[in-house]
Structure 1
């Protein structure tokens, strides 16, 4: 089974240092690999807290560090692990539904998330053992 791996997406960066920058998402299909059905953001997360610690059955996401720094670790069903450092607001990280992921934030970090599906608790795989059992069997 071939699965799409987490990867960086570069959004337009318009402007210059003397006036600042703007990144725009107008035609979602040009930059997001899905239609965003939910958008949310996290902020004021203490640096000692690791968030995420889950995978999804169906939801894909693009994570953006709108401010500060976010360290994202992803693990694919085949056991491959990648570490991403998000700190440029015009770069997002695509996280496919089957990727176990964790995030650790600088205190000033604001994370913007585009999600392919509305929130549904049943979509979450919150146990690492369940993740390995569910997705590991599919990757064999």
Structure 2
């Protein structure tokens, strides 16, 4: 997998004078079935999250409130994405080292995942990830 496979996805937005509504449907707006949803919030100023990769998991990352950056690294290329709107999501394919930083006050990061939590799916050591990433190219 390459960082080029990761992309921003425009999500549906229904707007009227009462406010906006955005929805996400599995296999329609995201290229996978959704098995788990989690979110990060109350993130201290200057904190960083992530610092891991997944072997097989697909994700969609959405800034539900506030803003933050996601840095993706496939072992060869790095790319920074800024998320600041709940009607855009970042599709992250497997084998992407990710780091989340630059959180604004009150930021909420929601993640839709293709599988339930499985510790065996993680690379938590960057050097181990690099070895595996080079072997898969």
TM range (shorter): over 0.9
Report runs of 4+ in structure 1 exceeding 4 Å deviation. Answer: none
1:87 is aligned to 84
Please report how far the alpha carbon of residue 47 of structure 1 lies from its aligned counterpart in structure 2 after TM superposition.
2.4
Q: How many Å separate the matches in 1 of 2:81 and 2:135?
A: 26
C-alpha RMSD of the superposition: 1.3
Task: Give the match for residue 29 of structure 2.
Answer: 31
1:22 aligned partner: 21
* Aligned-partner Cα distance in 1 for 2:44–2:93: 26
Q: Which whole-Å CA distance do the structure 2 matches of 1:7 and 1:73 have between them?
A: 12
* TM-score normalised by the chain length of structure 2: 0.93
1:71 and 1:103 in contact (8 A); partners too: yes
1:58 lines up with 2:56 in the alignment:
yes
The number of equivalent residue pairs is: 135
Q: Give the C-alpha shift of residue 107 in structure 1.
A: 2.5
**1:89-128, aligned counterparts within 5 Å?**
89-104=86-101, 105-128=103-126
1:97 is displaced (CA, Å) by 1.2
Number of the residue aligned with 1:41 = 39
- 8 Å contact 1:40–1:114 — kept in the other structure? yes
TM-score by length of 1: 0.91
Distance (whole Å) between structure 2 residues aligned to residue 48 and residue 137 of structure 1 = 34
